[in-house]
């Protein structure tokens, strides 16, 4: 078996040894538009791509920097290359977490260039959890045991066509990347 995967754009991508030129927003946007949140346990399809878009829009609505908004959009980009594992299991997989963090950091560096500082990473985590909390209220009528955060933006939690999600993701990406 080879050490690479073939992406939507036909790139032979090696997750454990990525190259900057192989990380394409087209691949990330496409893959995340097809990946489901909550491991498919919501009552309708809701994609990781939608989640990332809503995280980005929440960061923008809160007046966070374009770097933070872009990081919010990209915060699950490693999942486009190595899938995801639900939080209750993932926290026990130290090697997986190490690989995921390395790839995610590499993706941030590819598009944002300078490392995100601790304050910026905390804002990304805050936004990610804020959306997670509100997604579970909407889709599962369940309050998670994380801080309740009222959203400033007004995400519409509903199925959105894959291509529409993919295009919106790329639109946000290019708007932000051109303003950093």
- For the chain, the C-alpha Rg in angstroms (whole number) is 16
Please give the Cα distance from 52 to 77 (Å, whole number): 9
Please give the Cα distance from 47 to 175 (Å, whole number): 21
Q: Any idea what DSSP says for residue 3?
A: S
Q: What percent of the chain has pLDDT over 90?
A: 96
Please give the Cα distance from 139 to 91 (Å, whole number): 23
Condensed to tens digits (0 to 9), the pLDDT of residues 88-109 reads 999 999 999 999 999 999 999 9
pTM recorded for the entire structure: 0.97
pLDDT of residue 2: 81
Which residues, at least 6 apart from 33, have a Cβ–Cβ distance to it below 8 Å? 47, 49, 50, 162, 163, 165, 166, 169
CATH among 1.20.910.10, 2.40.50.140, 1.10.3210.10, 1.10.132.20 for 5-177? 1.10.3210.10
Instruction: Give, in degrees to the nearest 5, the angle at Cα 106 between 102 and 109.
Output: 140
Condensed to tens digits (0 to 9), the pLDDT of residues 18-75 reads 999 999 999 999 999 999 999 999 999 999 999 999 999 999 999 999 999 999 999 9
Per-position b or e across 61-82, b if 16+ CB within 10 A of its CB: ebebebbbbbbbbbbbbbbbbe
């Amino acid at each position: 078996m080879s050490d690479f995967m073939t992406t939507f754009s036909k790139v032979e991508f090696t997750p454990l040894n990525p190259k900057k030129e192989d990380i394409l927003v087209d691949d990330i946007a496409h893959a995340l538009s097809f990946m489901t949140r909550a491991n498919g346990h919501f009552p309708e399809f809701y994609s990781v791509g939608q989640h990332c878009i809503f995280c980005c829009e929440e960061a923008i609505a809160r007046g966070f920097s374009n770097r933070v908004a872009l990081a919010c959009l990209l915060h699950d980009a490693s999942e486009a290359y190595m899938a995801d594992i639900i939080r209750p299991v993932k926290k026990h997989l130290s090697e997986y977490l190490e690989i995921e963090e390395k790839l995610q950091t590499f993706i941030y560096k590819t598009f944002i260039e300078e490392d995100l500082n601790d304050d910026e990473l905390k804002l990304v985590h805050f936004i990610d959890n804020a959306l997670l909390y509100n997604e579970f209220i909407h889709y599962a009528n369940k309050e998670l045991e994380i801080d309740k955060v009222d959203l400033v933006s007004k995400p519409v939690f509903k199925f959105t066509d894959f291509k529409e999600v993919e295009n919106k993701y790329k639109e946000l990406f290019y708007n932000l990347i051109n303003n950093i």
